[in-house]
Amino acid sequence: MDIKRKRLFWGGVLADPALGSESGHKIAQQLAAFINTPNTTVYDKAIDSVYLSTHTGGSQLHHLVDGQHDIFGAFEAAAKALPDDSTWQEVMGTAHHLGKDLFSVSGLPVVSLRPEQFQSMSAWLSDHLSISKRWLGDLLKINGLELFSGVLSVTAVVVGCQQADMRQLAELSAASGLAGILSANPIGLCAAAIALVLAWKHRRSTADLGRSLLVGGVTAGAAFAAGSTVAALGIGSGLLPAVAGVLLSVVTGFYVRNFLVKKLYPPTETSFAGLLPPPQEELQWVVPDMDEVQTDVWRAMLCYEYPMSTTVSMALQRALKQ
């Protein structure tokens, strides 16, 4: 697998748990405040007319159950807003409103349901599978961040399938599956199911598949916990602390996976190997004593090397030892 594909693959593995954490949720809130501005146009008011008149579904579920926030329902409502506008104006009005709603925290519906359909479905799942109404409502909607991380997961499935690498596919399946459950991301769950089928097809042994699923699940859990912990600590407000929490999730996932791979996989296999081309012989790292795991993380995060001459490197090492 070439370098770009490796970066894309491991980005897909870690995107779901990082952006699905509470830090990712805070980023979604910041994006909603910036993008999902108040309704001002006649098309905005037409598409939201059912909710404004009946408040069906409340603020969290009306996109799912009012019938006017999927593409066809929204366009139908926008087409009735003005008697003499053009089709192009109606299309643009619909796209503008749905684009704003995509970046709301609740997002847009995967499929629209009638209120009674959702009530019947949520009641059955709650009684038989202990699935909460809130989680089901979240699963049936998708926002901008979930769409982004889900697309990365799907792309990672394609890359993993091209390489027919059972371990990578199994790790992706466990990571996206756990993150999809924790954050109710429907695209992530679909990607996890496909990756699991492909991993089973290319399995070497059931034990090896189980180890790979364990590595992916623990990696995702650690990344999700790191991002949620930063958010729970309430360190600052705004977009920057939330982004820092997501980055910490990614770094935590790298470290945890490196540790697990060294413990559970054969010694010949290294974690995140080949993310960058090997350094040239005459180049030295700025921090020569950095251990292998830290070096892998810095290479992957910074995506380039800090070169320095051999003479300067040896002089620096002597100075540090003194």
Answer whether residue 222 shows pLDDT above 70. Answer: yes
Tell me, rounded to whole angstroms, the distance of Cα 77 from its chain centroid: 32
Is the pLDDT at 175 greater than 50? The verdict is yes
Q: 174: closest CA among 131, 213, 228?
A: 213
- Look at 297 and 55; give whichever has higher pLDDT: 55
Mean pLDDT of the chain: 82
Burial 170-200 (b: 16+ CB within 10 A, else e): bbbbbbbbbbbbbbbbbbbbbbbebbbebbe
Q: Which two tokens stand for residue 230?
A: 């930063």
Tell me the C-alpha distance between 282 and 304, whole Å.
16
pLDDT at 124: 94
Lowest mean pLDDT segment, chosen from 19-33, 131-145, 160-174, 307-321 = 307-321
- Alpha-carbon radius of gyration of the chain: 24
Spatial distance between the Cα atoms of 107 and 262, rounded to a whole number of angstroms = 40
Give the separation between CA 13 and CA 250, rounded to whole angstroms: 10
Summarised one tens digit per residue, pLDDT across range 256-311 is 998 998 888 876 544 444 444 555 444 444 444 444 445 554 454 444 444 545 55
Q: Which helix (H) or strand (E) holds 18?
A: helix 3-20
Per-position DSSP letters for 182-216, written without gaps between them: HHT-HHHHHHHHHHHHHHHHT-S-HHHHHHHHHHH
Task: Give the tens place of pLDDT for each residue, 177-213.
Answer: 999 999 899 999 999 999 999 999 888 888 889 999 9
**Helix, strand, or coil here: 90?**
helix
Q: Where are the domains of the chain?
A: 3-28+143-264, 37-102+108-138, 292-321
Cα(63)–Cα(13) distance, rounded to whole angstroms? 29
| Average pLDDT of the residues in 97-105 | 92
